């Protein structure tokens, strides 16, 4: 299917309605029970929503990125998010999605830069955030809410504006919207400066959706369902959402990050998408359970985990290994699968590098985890490991998807060319010219080919640094390897311009407390724990054991232990749970100074 498709994103609804209309196209918890929306329900709601937007003066004939109306959304994942996205598209307006965790100053910049006309928010907290900066956004005419909030205007007032005449106009307008029209402008999180608006057309996203669907593959599966919890304003979750819609897969929205475990057991999904940090959290909980076992059960648990860590999907471990793994799956890993709903056919992870050890263990446990890769500027998928035989290799992000050209520049930078490459940065032709050269999107990521087929990401170009001795260091592979230790929750490598490489380490305090208890070392507080001589000695041994995997210049010579986990709320992590290195370096500059004192 390497020919360029002609669909627009909103055509997914008509496609599903014609091929496999479902009773549960979308679903969410309302007052403790799952409320489902059929394909026909969604189609009617979205068309009425579009008609209401037209009555409000949204949409029309100006389909240029600068002239088209902009509608913003700042909300948790829920059916109303998709209703808004589809309804805005059908009017020819452009959706501006914003992370719920975006700080007020950045929110004001995004809304003002894009000249947003209306905004839809989910709850009282986000309503208050928008109202606090509304005066600084002259273009903003009104705020609508998804929750019923006293004194606020509910989004249903927009659908109530629909008339038969307006509904007929919606159909005419839909037919006139070209696939090269900008569907959304997604602003970067701003970790490297002023947020940039990435303009993605219908054609950009739809080609990526259909090429990814074909490559992975996602088969048409009207009886299938998935759980969605990654933020919909991020292109990764938005892209897979349209893969689900075009494949007839029902989408159920988790109530929150905290309820994922319960929601998985309730709906028994076939799959979900995630980021490595959440997989790490799942594994930490599993290991904490193992540490709580005693006697034979404990030995059996850790024997199974040790066995799984050696798993390779491409190389048979032999009949004896396979027999042992089969026993481990029956006695130990079956409980893991039950905790995930006992029906997982695939988990796709992206957004950051995943620990190879986790990939081996989960796949050995018959919980298939597939790593993929791609930036917002490519809508986003460039590569993904396949569900087909020979299509997956641990430690890589898989082969490029069909329909794209991928090459490595002289310095190892990954470049991609194809129909899913962005239209450009909104109002920033200078940045666009620097990033897209002769049609090739320069990603800023460094990679290598493995077996002439699989792409392996080695680091971010901007994160490489030189020591004072002139040696280059790539922090990401070092950090990922060290995080395999059960004693390390998070780690950031430092050392730009210094004589040696150092590290800030956030201990895995649950595991550390367990170890201290077994060593008869009193545990009182995190602060006291990280200064205990035997704890410091143990962490030095951990660092020494992992240093052997790296050459001399890359080895961590000194480190500082920290008392608090890095988080979105603390400002050290992006909404997609990637590390904000500059923020961490500023916040912990005294600890870094101690390393090099």
DSSP letters, 109-170, are HHHHHTTEEEEEE-SHHHHHHHHHHGGG-TT--EEEESS--TTSEETHHHHTT--HHHHHHH
Domain identity same for 492 and 396: no
**CA-CA distance, 484 to 498, in Å (whole number)?**
26
Q: What is the CATH number of the domain that holds 115?
A: 3.40.50.12780
The arithmetic mean of pLDDT across residues 440-451, rounded, is 96
Q: Could you tell me if residue 416 is inside a domain?
A: yes
Our separate counts of H helices and E strands in the chain read: 22, 26
Single out the residue in 407, 430, 461 at which a domain terminates: 461
Q: Could you tell me if residue 45 is inside a domain?
A: yes
Q: Could you tell me if residue 3 is inside a domain?
A: no
Centroid of chain to Cα 536: 34
Domain identity same for 217 and 235: yes
**Residues 6 or more apart whose Cβ sits within 8 Å of residue 117:** 57, 58, 69, 70, 71, 93, 139, 140, 141
Q: Could you tell me if residue 5 is inside a domain?
A: no
Single out the residue in 270, 305, 332 at which a domain terminates: 270
User: For residues 218 and 245, is the Cβ–Cβ distance under 8 A?
Assistant: no
Residue 127 is encoded by which pair of tokens? 């309503």
Three-state DSSP state, 581: helix
In this predicted structure, the answer to whether residue 4 has a pLDDT above a threshold of 70 is: no
In this predicted structure, the answer to whether residue 60 has a pLDDT above a threshold of 80 is: no
Confidence label for 576 from pLDDT (cuts 50, 70 and 90): confident
Q: Could you tell me if residue 541 is inside a domain?
A: yes
Domain identity same for 373 and 405: yes
**CA-CA distance, 508 to 535, in Å (whole number)?**
12
Residue 370, pLDDT score: 98
Confidence label for 5 from pLDDT (cuts 50, 70 and 90): low
Domain identity same for 288 and 389: yes
The arithmetic mean of pLDDT across residues 177-198, rounded, is 85
**CA-CA distance, 526 to 512, in Å (whole number)?**
10
- Give residue-wise pLDDT tens across range 120-167: 999 999 999 999 999 999 999 999 999 999 999 999 999 999 999 999
Confidence label for 226 from pLDDT (cuts 50, 70 and 90): very high
Q: In the chain, how many domains are there?
A: 3
Single out the residue in 270, 285, 304 at which a domain terminates: 270
The arithmetic mean of pLDDT across residues 379-403, rounded, is 97
Confidence label for 189 from pLDDT (cuts 50, 70 and 90): low
- Give residue-wise pLDDT tens across range 81-101: 999 999 999 999 999 999 998
Question: Among candidates 9, 36, 34, 33, which has minimal Cα distance to 25?
Answer: 36
Domain identity same for 504 and 586: yes
Q: Could you tell me if residue 69 is inside a domain?
A: yes
Domain identity same for 18 and 165: yes
Three-state DSSP state, 301: helix
Q: Please list the residues that pair with 460 across neighbouring strands.
A: 445
Domain identity same for 511 and 451: no
Domain identity same for 430 and 496: no
Residue 470, pLDDT score: 86
Domain identity same for 455 and 570: no
Domain identity same for 41 and 77: yes
- Which tops the pLDDT comparison, 102 or 414? 414
- DSSP letter assigned to residue 94: E
In this predicted structure, the answer to whether residue 515 has a pLDDT above a threshold of 90 is: yes
Confidence label for 525 from pLDDT (cuts 50, 70 and 90): very high
Residue 406 is encoded by which pair of tokens? 């991928």
Residue 2, pLDDT score: 47
Q: What is the CATH number of the domain that holds 564?
A: 3.30.300.30
The domain in which residue 39 lies consists of 11-270
User: For residues 301 and 293, is the Cβ–Cβ distance under 8 A?
Assistant: yes
The percentage of residues in the chain with a pLDDT greater than 90, rounded to a whole number, is 89
Domain identity same for 77 and 201: yes
In this predicted structure, the answer to whether residue 1 has a pLDDT above a threshold of 90 is: no
User: For residues 262 and 29, is the Cβ–Cβ distance under 8 A?
Assistant: no
Q: Please list the residues that pair with 455 across neighbouring strands.
A: 449
Residue 464, pLDDT score: 87
Q: Could you tell me if residue 6 is inside a domain?
A: no
User: For residues 418 and 407, is the Cβ–Cβ distance under 8 A?
Assistant: no
Domain identity same for 297 and 429: yes
Average confidence score pLDDT of the chain: 95
Q: Could you tell me if residue 316 is inside a domain?
A: yes
Confidence label for 193 from pLDDT (cuts 50, 70 and 90): low
- Give residue-wise pLDDT tens across range 312-330: 999 999 999 999 999 999 9
**CA-CA distance, 113 to 110, in Å (whole number)?**
5
């Amino acid at each position: 299917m390497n020919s360029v498709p002609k669909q627009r994103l909103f055509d997914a609804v008509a496609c599903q309605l014609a091929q496999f209309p479902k009773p549960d196209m979308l679903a969410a918890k309302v007052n403790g029970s799952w409320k489902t929306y059929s394909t026909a329900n969604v189609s009617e709601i979205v068309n009425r929503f579009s008609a209401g937007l037209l009555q409000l003066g949204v949409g029309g004939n100006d389909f240029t990125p600068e002239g088209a109306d902009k509608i913003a959304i700042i909300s948790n994942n829920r059916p109303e998010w998709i209703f808004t996205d589809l309804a805005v598209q059908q009017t020819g307006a452009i959706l501006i999605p914003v992370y719920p965790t975006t700080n007020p100053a950045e929110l004001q910049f995004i809304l003002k830069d894009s000249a947003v006309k209306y905004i839809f928010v989910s709850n009282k907290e986000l309503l208050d955030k928008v109202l606090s900066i509304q005066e600084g956004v002259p273009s903003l005419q009104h705020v609508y809410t998804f929750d019923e909030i006293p004194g606020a205007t509910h989004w249903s007032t927009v659908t109530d504006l629909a008339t038969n005449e307006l509904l007929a106009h919606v159909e005419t307008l839909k037919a006139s919207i070209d696939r090269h029209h900008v569907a959304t402008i997604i602003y970067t999180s701003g970790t490297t400066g002023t947020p940039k608006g990435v303009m993605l057309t219908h054609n950009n996203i739809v080609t990526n959706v259909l090429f990814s669907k074909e490559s992975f593959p996602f088969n048409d599966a009207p009886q299938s369902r998935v759980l969605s919890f990654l933020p919909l304003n991020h292109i990764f979750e938005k892209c897979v959402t349209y893969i689900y819609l075009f494949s007839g897969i029902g989408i159920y929205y988790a109530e929150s990050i905290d309820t994922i475990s319960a929601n998985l057991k309730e709906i028994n999904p076939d799959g979900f998408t995630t980021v490595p940090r959440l997989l790490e959290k799942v594994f930490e909980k599993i290991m904490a359970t193992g540490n709580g076992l005693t006697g034979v059960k404990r030995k059996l648990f850790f024997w199974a985990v040790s066995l799984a860590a050696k798993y390779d999907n491409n190389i048979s471990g032999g009949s004896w290994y396979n027999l042992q793994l089969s026993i481990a799956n029956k006695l130990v890993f079956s409980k893991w699968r039950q905790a995930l709903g006992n029906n997982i056919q695939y988990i796709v992870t992206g957004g950051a590098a995943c620990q190879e050890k986790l990939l081996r263990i989960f796949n050995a446990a018959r919980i298939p985890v597939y790593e993929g890769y791609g930036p917002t500027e490519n809508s986003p998928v460039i590569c993904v490991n396949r569900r087909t035989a020979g299509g997956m290799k641990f430690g890589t992000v898989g082969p490029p998807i069909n329909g794209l050209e991928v090459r490595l520049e002289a310095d190892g930078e990954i470049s991609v060319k194809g129909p899913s490459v962005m239209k450009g940065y909104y109002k920033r032709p200078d940045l666009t010219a620097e990033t897209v050269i002769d049609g090739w999107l320069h990603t800023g990521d460094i990679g290598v080919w493995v077996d002439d087929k699989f792409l392996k990401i080695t680091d971010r170009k901007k994160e490489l640094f030189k020591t004072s001795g002139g040696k280059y260091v790539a922090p990401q592979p070092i950090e990922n390897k060290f995080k395999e230790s059960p004693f390390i929750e998070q780690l950031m490598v430092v050392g730009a311009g210094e004589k040696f490489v150092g590290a800030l380490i956030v201990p895995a305090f649950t595991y550390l407390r367990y170890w201290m208890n077994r060593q008869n070392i009193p545990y009182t507080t995190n602060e006291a724990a990280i200064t205990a001589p035997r704890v410091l000695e143990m962490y030095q041994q951990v660092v020494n054991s992992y240093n052997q995997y790296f050459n001399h210049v890359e080895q961590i010579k000194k480190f500082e232990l920290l008392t608090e986990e890095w988080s979105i709320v603390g400002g050290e992590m992006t909404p997609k749970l990637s590390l904000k290195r500059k923020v961490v370096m500023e916040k912990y500059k005294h600890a870094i100074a101690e390393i090099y004192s």
